[in-house]
Structure 1
Amino acid sequence: MEEEKIHPKVRNRRVHLANERTFLSWIRTSIGIMAFGFVVERFALFVRQLSVFLGKEIPLTPHHGYSSFFGAFLIALGAVMGFLAFIRYKSIEKQIDEDTYKPSILLDILLVISLLVIAIFLIIYILYSI
C-alpha cells in the first residue's frame, strides 16, 4: 500500500537516470556535429590565410565554396538533433512514468543517415581537391 503512494519518478529512478544519460549523450553528439561544422566552415578561410602568409596565392576553385555551405548545414543539423533529443527525452520520460515505454529509432536513423551523407560529401570533396 505504501508503494502505491510513491511517485513514479521515484519508483523508476534508475530508469529515469539512464534516460537522462542517453539524452546527455545525444546532446554531446549534436555539439560535436556543430563543432565539426564550424571547423569545416572555417577551413577554407584558414587555407586562404595560410597561403597569404606563405606568399603563395591559391586559386579558388568552385569546390572551395562548398565548405561554407556544408559547415552551415552541419551546424544546423547539430541544432536539429539537439532539439529532437530533447523531444525524445521528454517522450521517454512520460512513457516511463506511464509504464508504456516503446523504443523509437527515429533519432538513431537520422544520425546514421547524416553520418553517411557527411562521409560521402567529404570523400567527394577530397577527391575533387586533389
Structure 2
Amino acid sequence: MSGLKDPRVLFAAERTLLAWNRTSLALIAFGFLVERAGLLLSALAPDHVHASGMVLTFWLGFAFILLGAVSAIYSSRQYAVFLKTLNPAEFPEGYGIRWGMLVNVAVAILALGLIVVLYIGRF
C-alpha cells in the first residue's frame, strides 16, 4: 500500500503503463519492418539475396513482434498488480482506471494476430 492518498500516484503509474504501450508498439512496428525488409531486398536485388537471409529476417522480425506482444501483456500485469496496492482514496471518482490496461491487451492480441498472419503468409 502506498498510503499517500494522492491520485497523482495512480496517474504516474498510468503514464508508465502508456510508456510501455508505446514501447510495445515500437517493437511490433520494428519487427514488421525487419520482416518485410527481406521481401524488399529480394525484390530489389533478387540475384544477391540468399534464402538464409530471407529466413533470418523473417524470424528476427517475428521475434521483435513477439517481444512487443509480451511487453504489452507484462506491463498490463504489472499495472494490475500495482492497482491492488492503492487505497480507495487514490482513485478519482468516476475515473476509468483500466482503459490503459485494456489498450495494452488489445495491442498484444493484435500483435499475436499479426504473427499468425505473417506465419501463414510465409508458407
TM range (shorter): 0.5 to 0.7
TM-aligned CA deviation for residue 75 of structure 1: 0.6
Counting aligned pairs with the same residue, the percent is 33
Q: State yes or no: 1:85 paired with 2:54.
A: no
Deviations along 1:63-119, one digit per CA (max 9) or x if unpaired, are 332110111111111001101111111111111238xxxxxxxxxxxxxxxxxxxxx
- Corresponding residue of 1:41: 35
Larger helix percent = 1
Bigger relative contact order, structure 1 or 2, given CA contacts below 8 A and separation 6+? 2
TM-score by length of 1: 0.59
Which consecutive unaligned segments of at least 5 residues does structure 2 have? 89-123
Q: Runs of at least 4 residues of structure 1 off by over 4 A?
A: none
Which consecutive unaligned segments of at least 5 residues does structure 1 have? 1-7, 99-130
Matches within 5 A, 1:82-121: 82-97=72-87
Instruction: Name which of 20, 28, 35 aligns with 1:26.
Output: 20
RMSD: 2.0
